[in-house]
Structure 1
Amino acid sequence: MALSMAERRAITKEMATRYARATKKQRGLMLDELCALTGYNRSYAARRLRARARGPAPPKRRRERPRTYTSELLPALRKVWATLDRCCGKRLAAVMAPTIEALERHAEISLTAEQRELLCSASPATLDRLLAPERGRLRLKGRALTRPGTLLRSQIPVRTFTEWDHGVAGFLEIDLVGHEGGAPRGEFAYSLCCTDVASGWTEVRVVRNRARKWTHEALKDVRAALPFRLLGLDSDNGGEFINHHLVSWCSAERISFTRSRPLRKNDGCYVEQKNWSVVRRETGYGRYDTEAERELLTAIYADLRLYVNYFLPSVKLITKQRVGAKVTKRYDTPATPYRRLLALGALDEQTLARLEAEYLALNPAELRRRLTDNEKKLMRMCSLKMDSRGREVAATG
C-alpha cells in the first residue's frame, strides 16, 4: 500500500537527523531504505534528506521597487480629487491635466514639471489605489413625490428613443426633486433639474412649490441660460408639467414636448441620474420651506451649474450586451459637459468665445469651497429651524 504524502514527509524528517551524522556507506543504505518505503528516486531522496537536515530555508526577501508616486505627490492629488467632488479614478484621470492647469492658473497648487507629468500619466487604477485611504461613501435613497397629471396626457405624445437625435444638443429631460424632509405636507421647495441628453449640460432652479406658475418661470430661466437652442423637453407624467400652460408655451415656441411612459422611471434615465449626483449630493434630504432656505439654494445652484458643467466629467453608456445572466456595458471616455459641447460642434463663434472666457475665469477650487460652505449653512439653517419648531410644539403641548 502506497504511503500518503504526510507519511512520506514524516519518514523523511525522522531519517534526516541520522543521515546528517552518518558515514558515506551508511547514507547509501539509508537512501536504499527511503527509496523502498516512499518510491522516491535516489537523487530526489538525497536532496530531501539534505534539505531537512539544514532546516527551513530563510524567507526570500523580495526586492522592493522604487516608489514612483511618493508622499510628496499626495497633497496635490488630494487637492485635485477634492476639487472634483472626489470622483472615481476613471473620471479623475480623464480630466487631470485641464484641472491641474486651472488650479495652477489660480495659484491653488504649485507643481514641478516632473510632478505634473506623473499625475497626468497616472492610470485610473493607480489613482484609486493612492486615494483609497481618503475615500468615503454615503448612500441614501430619495423619495418620489410626483403625482399623476390630468387627462391632458393623451394629447402629449410618449417619447420613443427614435424620435430624438441624441447627437444634437438641445433636447432636455426635466424633473422635479422635492425637499420635503420626509414629511410631504404643506408647502416646501422643489428643485427643477434639466439635463441635455447629448452633452449632459445640466441646469437646476429652485421653485417655491409644484404650481405650474413657478415651474414655467423656472423653465424660461433655464432656456435663457442655455448655451444652445432649446429644441425639446421630455418630462414625467406629473401635473406640474402636464398642463395646458406648458403645452401652449412649447407649441408657440416650437419646442418639442414629450412625456415618459407611466411607471417607467428609466425613460428619464439622464435626468434621474442628475437628480442624485447633482441635486441630492449637494443639498441632502432636509426640509426647505422658508424664503431664506430658497435663497441659499439659489446661490448654491448658481455655483453648481458652473462647477458641474465646466469641471465635473461624466461617462455615457455606449452599448449594453446581455449574454445569459451576464450584462456587459461599454462606456465612452469621461468628459465634462463643456468639452462634449465643443466636440459636438453645434455652437456659434460668439457662444464659443463666451464659454471659453467663462471657463478660463473660473477657479474650480473656489467654487468647491463656496459650495461646501453654503451647504453647511443650509444644513445648519434646517437643523436650527427644526429644533425651534420642536420646542414650539413641546411648549404648546
Structure 2
Amino acid sequence: IELLAETDNLHERMSGPATKVILKRQHERFKDPRFELLKDISPAHIYNLRESPAYRAKSVTVGKTKSVQIPIEVRGKPNPDGKPGHLRVDTVHQGDSEKAKGIYSLNLVDEVTQWEVVACVEGINEAWMDEVLSAAMTLFPFRIRGFHSDNGSEFINRQVSKMLGDQFIRQSKPRSGRTNDNALVEGKNGSIIRKHMGHWHIARNYAPEVNRFYMGKFNIYLNYHRPCGFATVTVDGKGKRHRKYEVYQTPYEALKKLPGAAQYLKDGVTFEQLDKIAMAESDNECAKQMQKEKQELFRKVQPAGLNLFQKGGPATNSRRNHDE
C-alpha cells in the first residue's frame, strides 16, 4: 500500500488502468524488484486500496485556492488518418488577482499519439505567443502537419498564420456549433495542467520560470513516463459511437507502434536517440524529479507560502479521467 501511495503521489494519482501500467513498467521495464507484488494488480483492486486508511495516511494531493479578422481557409474537425503531426492547441489562464492577469499555459497535443508539449507565456498577444509557440513545436519529434485551435485571437492572427504557412502546416478551427471538435486538448487541460498547476493565480512576471519547468522535465515526463488511455471506437446498429479504453501506453510507445513510424520523424531524429531519453530513468524516478522541480517552482511563484500539499487523497476523480 505504501508503494502504491508513493507512486500515486509522484504521478498525481492517475486512473486505475493508467496506474496499473506504471506499476508493471516499474517492474518489467525498469527492473525494480519492489513492484513484484504490484505488477499484476487489477485496476479494481487499486481503487479498493485507495480507500483504505493505510493508503490515505500516505497519500497527498494538490490543494486548490479559490480583434483583427484573419481568414482561415479550413473550418472543420481534422482527420489525421492515423498519422502523427496533427496538433490540437489551446491555452489555460492561471487566474487574475486584483485585476492583475496571470500567466497562460499553452497546450499542444498530437491527436494520434497524444504526444503533448506544454509551454508558458506572459500574455496571449502576438508578441509573446509567436516565439514560445515556435519553440514548443520544435519539441515534437515528428513533422507537424496540422494545427487546430479555437477561434481565439492568440492563434487566429497574421503572425501565427504566417509561421504555420511558412512550414506548410495546415491551420483549422472548429465548426460552428461543434463544441467537441477540440475535446482532446480540453480534456488534457484539466487532467494535466489544472491537476499539476492548480487554479491559483501565478503572476505574469513568473512566466519564464514556469516555461523552463514545462519545457524541461515536465514535457519529458508527460511523453516518456505517463501512460494515457487510447480509446477503441465502435458504432452500434443505431449509429451511436461507443468509446472503450482498454489500451494504456505512453505517447512515446504509441509513436513507436505506428506502422512505418520512422518515416514520420523529423530529419536528424532517430528512435535510437529517443530510446536513450525513454530509458534514462524509470517512470517513478522521472516523476520524483519532476515533483521536486515543481515544488521548487511553487515556492518561487507563491512567496506568501500556500499549503500546496495536504493529506487526505486527491481532489479529482481519477476514475473519470480516461485521457490518463
- How would you bin the TM-score normalised by the shorter chain? 0.7 to 0.9
- 1:254-269 superposed matches below 5 A: 254-262=168-176, 264-269=178-183
- 1:30-109 superposed matches below 5 A: 74-101=1-28, 104=31
- Which residue in the other structure is 1:128 paired with? 47
- Which residue in the other structure is 2:284 paired with? 365
- Report the Cα distance in structure 1 between the residues aligned to 2:97 and 2:172, rounded to whole angstroms: 30
- Which residue in the other structure is 1:384 paired with? 303
- Report the Cα distance in structure 2 between the residues aligned to 1:359 and 1:386, rounded to whole angstroms: 34
Structure 2 stretches lacking a partner, 5+ long: 307-324
- 1:307-326 superposed matches below 5 A: 307-319=221-233
Q: Secondary structure at the match of 1:122?
A: coil
The answer on whether the counterparts of 1:236 and 1:262 sit within 8 Å (CA) in structure 2 is no
- For the pair 1:193 / 2:120, whether they are aligned, the reply is no
The answer on whether the counterparts of 1:83 and 1:364 sit within 8 Å (CA) in structure 2 is no
- Report the Cα distance in structure 1 between the residues aligned to 2:88 and 2:17, rounded to whole angstroms: 26
Aligned equivalent of 1:170, options 82, 85, 88? 85
The answer on whether the counterparts of 1:80 and 1:99 sit within 8 Å (CA) in structure 2 is no
Query: What is the deviation of 1:254?
Result: 0.6
Residue type of the partner of 2:209? Answer: L
Residue type of the partner of 1:370? Answer: Q
Aligned equivalent of 2:192, options 255, 278, 287? 278
The structure, 1 or 2, with the larger RCO (C-alpha pairs under 8 Å, 6+ apart) is 2
Structure 1 residues 174 and 128, CA gap change in structure 2 (3 angstroms): same
- Report the Cα distance in structure 1 between the residues aligned to 2:113 and 2:204, rounded to whole angstroms: 34
* Structure (1/2) with the larger helix percentage: 1
- Which residue in the other structure is 1:5 paired with? none
Residue type of the partner of 1:151? Answer: Q
Structure 1 stretches lacking a partner, 5+ long: 1-73, 143-148, 388-397
The answer on whether the counterparts of 2:122 and 2:204 sit within 8 Å (CA) in structure 1 is no
- Which residue in the other structure is 1:204 paired with? 118
The TM-score with structure 1 as length reference comes to 0.65
1:143-196 alpha-carbon deviations (Å, 9 max, x no partner):
xxxxxx5422x4332123xx422411000011111112466x444321110000
1:367-395 alpha-carbon deviations (Å, 9 max, x no partner):
323333343344444443699xxxxxxxx
State the identity as a percent: 24
The answer on whether the counterparts of 1:84 and 1:311 sit within 8 Å (CA) in structure 2 is no
- Report the Cα distance in structure 2 between the residues aligned to 1:95 and 1:370, rounded to whole angstroms: 16
Query: What is the deviation of 1:235?
Result: 0.6
Q: Secondary structure at the match of 1:347?
A: helix
- For the pair 1:355 / 2:269, whether they are aligned, the reply is no
- Report the Cα distance in structure 1 between the residues aligned to 2:244 and 2:65, rounded to whole angstroms: 26
Structure 1 residues 81 and 216, CA gap change in structure 2 (3 angstroms): same
Query: What is the deviation of 1:90?
Result: 1.4
Residue type of the partner of 2:303? Answer: L
Query: What is the deviation of 1:199?
Result: 0.3
Q: Secondary structure at the match of 1:206?
A: strand
Residue type of the partner of 1:299? Answer: R
Q: Secondary structure at the match of 1:225?
A: coil
Q: Secondary structure at the match of 1:119?
A: coil
- For the pair 1:229 / 2:156, whether they are aligned, the reply is no
- Report the Cα distance in structure 2 between the residues aligned to 1:327 and 1:242, rounded to whole angstroms: 31
1:47-69 alpha-carbon deviations (Å, 9 max, x no partner):
xxxxxxxxxxxxxxxxxxxxxxx
1:211-262 alpha-carbon deviations (Å, 9 max, x no partner):
1122121221122111100111001000011011111222221101001135
Q: Which structure is larger by alpha-carbon Rg, 1 or 2? A: 1
- Which residue in the other structure is 1:151 paired with? 69
1:131-150 alpha-carbon deviations (Å, 9 max, x no partner):
332367779799xxxxxx54
Query: What is the deviation of 1:354?
Result: 0.9
Q: Secondary structure at the match of 1:151?
A: coil
Query: What is the deviation of 1:322?
Result: 7.9
The TM-score with structure 2 as length reference comes to 0.79
- Which residue in the other structure is 2:317 paired with? none
* Structure (1/2) with the larger strand percentage: 2
- Which residue in the other structure is 1:45 paired with? none
Pairwise CA RMSD of aligned residues?
A: 3.2
- Which residue in the other structure is 1:246 paired with? 160
Query: What is the deviation of 1:342?
Result: 0.8
Q: Secondary structure at the match of 1:217?
A: helix
Structure 1 residues 121 and 188, CA gap change in structure 2 (3 angstroms): closer
- Which residue in the other structure is 1:299 paired with? 212
